Chains A and B, each alone.
Chain A
Amino acid sequence: MSDAKSIEQGREAWQRDTLEPRLAEAPERKHPFTTQAMGWPVDRLYTPQNLDAIGFDYVRDVGFPGEYPYTRGTDPNGYRSDLWTMMQVSGFGTGEDWAERGRYMLDQGLTGLFLEYDLPTTNGLDSDHPLAVGEVGRAGIAVDSLDDMEALLDLPFDKLQRLTSICNGPQTVNLAMILAALKRRGIDPGSFTLQMPNAILIEYTCVGRYIFPPDHGLRVAIDALEYSIQNHPNWIPISVVSAQLYAAYANPVQELAFSFAIAKEYLDAALARGFDIDTLAPYFSFITGIDMDFFEAVGKLRAYRKVWARIMREEYGAKRPESEQLSLTASPGTMSLTLQQPLNNIARLGIQMLACVIGNGGHAMNTPLHDEAHALPTEDAIAVGAAVQNIVAHETGVADTVDPLAGSYYVETMTRRIEDAVFEELAKIESMGGALAAIKTGYFQKELARQQYERTRAIEDGSRVLVGVNHSVREGEKRNIEIHKHDPDVEHRQIRKLERLRAERDGIATRRALDRLRDAARSGENLVPPCLEAVNAYATHGEMCGALRDVFGEYHPDSLTTGIS
């Protein structure tokens, strides 16, 4: 084993005798080299000296997989026992339209589905609301009533391990719809995992699909969380979707720090209802997005697990290993996909999947698809996306040993640097009063808006290379892929169905159930049971959200908190 002194001497000699002659004949192609998102300098060479400089300690910093601090992964055997759940995001049309697509996706070998609802649904409006024009069934599935949810859950549940339902604003309403529909279909809720991102604080930060003011939005989320933990202990009732922060151009440090600050708001709100940390924390999960800088991505995934474990142990006093083990879903990033030369995106997805697996990115992964910059994915793109996951899983060998980049001088340096910077940013957010305060004052939004502008400028001035956009551009290029066609008849069909439902239901029972929901909203009791009653009385999604709006009001952020001020 070489000691520090001989490495230092060797390095000096190498620099003088070997490197410098090479630099004299071939100067470097860039100055400085920096990481893509953080802009941190990248050294020419990483050696054991870098590990000495950060005081790297194998047991303390890395340890063993399945053990604290989980840098090497939460599964002691990595992907050698189980591969990840292979998922894709999908949603369009009516419940019936989408169920057909869902069955196709499961036939492609996927084992989990992400449900995206259309904008009227996520904004708590029925399909016949004036603001819904043009949007019904467009960017997701239209769900107005129990009938729609029952139609969309016409899936082979024996093939489905996980269903992720993204309806962050009205989560209790959406949960009640799912519960009632499962019951009517005779499906055992314990036979699969329902993941509710329930990610309302991310919506206020950057996605925008909120309905109620933030404090009420948080209460709705914690109601869904509480009900789920008490009644469906195998489900995942809350996920911090840090992928949305990444998709809003947060750098890895912001992504982790904002996400952990948000997770702490949820934790504190739930602890205040009497949960203890070791009951609560194992229910928390995170969904991250992977960018193109391979080593930043791997470092981020490793730091993600380690920071969570430390927060749990050091700040919350968690005792159970399950509390410290980060539950993570990773997805290659939509923000690195280009509209231009869309087939290039397949290469990007492959590289990002590789980073996901090498960084031990989680128990479930989903691939976005190469045509997503154009429109909703086509069936061909779904098949290619599923193939990308299987190629990485079965053809590359990267899933065959656990955390293969551990000990890399560069990767360990990167992991530590991200870890330290995240704690620094978290301290800053805490000094502002935490995530809710940072949202209300617009701090998160402004930070993201700045990143968005800087990244755009870097692409425009060429300092950030994007092939097909500012590099290898082919003049007069034509779009060379088929894109998904929106069915213009969806809106009409959905509205007719809704009108029929309103005409045929027992209107008095519906009204009574909605009054009861308003009372529950005022009284502070958990909203899921009254939502279930209302769903079963055929109250529509928009009517239930309307009842909650009557009590909570609507959120209209001022320009200060939009990020553009």
Chain B
Amino acid sequence: MARRTRVLLAKLGLDAHTIGVNVIAQALRDAGMEVIYSGLKQTPEMVANTAIQEDVDVIGMSSLSAAHMTHFPRVVELLRERGAGDKLVIGGGVIPDEDSAALLEKGIERVFTMGTATTEIIAYIEAWQAGRGAGRDT
């Protein structure tokens, strides 16, 4: 039986805007995924550790201040260093177009800016999971 997709939602740095992450958490759960929420004021190390310990498939990071340019790429680096580079890393929030382009180059697979429908994010994760072999067997 395919296990449910496990998603870690994370807030890095000092940014405390939580509406986006609250909404995404509830939407992903309603779509049948398992959601773990990091809480506020996380460092990239804390997020990478949690992602590995909890064996998540997807890491979604939310930024509505400046954290994305420094912290998002660092999470990708840490995951790769620890052999966990196969996880899907995505970001969202208030992220200017030029920053999004830079993040995509640094291994963030996709950046969803403010106003993206939750259904679009769910469909994206489901498509990625399907492309990966319809979830791993447990």
Contacts and interface: CB of A to CB of B under 8 A. Distances in A.
A562 B39 contact: yes
Contact of B14 (A132, A456, A559): A132
Given A134-B70, A453-B22, A453-B27, A338 B115 contact: yes
Contact of B43 (A119, A131, A208, A449): A131
B15 interface: yes
Interface in A58-103: none
A230 B93 CA distance: 44
Contacts of A130: 43
Nearest to B63: A134
A375 B39 contact: no
Contacts of A373: 94, 114
A124 B94 CA distance: 24
A210 B13 CA distance: 14
Contact of B19 (A123, A248, A340): A248
Chain A interface helix/strand/loop/mixed: loop
A215 B14 CA distance: 22
A463 B52 CA distance: 40
Contacts of B69: 134
A452 interface: yes
Given A453-B27, A562-B37, A131 B13 contact: yes
B39 A556 contact: yes
Contacts of A558: 39
Interface in B32-61: 35, 37, 39-41, 43
A449 B35 CA distance: 15
B16 interface: yes
B3 to A, nearest CB: 21
Interface string A480-523: 00010010000000000000000000000000000000000000
A138 interface: yes
Interface in B80-94: 94
Given A452-B19, A453-B26, A460 B118 contact: yes
A139 interface: yes
B65 A339 contact: no
Contacts of B26: 449, 453, 564
B70 A209 contact: no
A563 B37 CA distance: 10
A120 interface: yes
B15 A119 contact: yes
A131 B23 contact: no
Contacts of A374: 94, 96
A207 interface: yes
Interface in A521-560: 556-559
B115 A138 contact: no
Contacts of A120: 14
Interface in A427-458: 448-449, 452-453, 456-457
Nearest to B15: A119
A208 B18 contact: yes
A120 B67 CA distance: 12
A208 B18 CA distance: 8
B67 A135 contact: yes
Contacts of B35: 564
B25 interface: yes
A284 interface: no
A133 interface: yes
Interface of B: 9, 13-19, 21-23, 25-27, 35, 37, 39-41, 43, 65-67, 69-71, 94, 96, 113-115, 117-119
Given A131-B14, A207-B16, A373-B94, 14 more contacts: A119-B15, A123-B14, A123-B41, A133-B13, A138-B66, A248-B19, A338-B115, A448-B22, A452-B22, A460-B118, A559-B37, A559-B39, A564-B21, A564-B25
Q: List the 10 shortest-distance A-B pairs measured between CB atoms, nearest first.
A: A208-B16, A134-B66, A119-B14, A453-B26, A449-B22, A564-B37, A564-B25, A134-B70, A456-B23, A138-B66
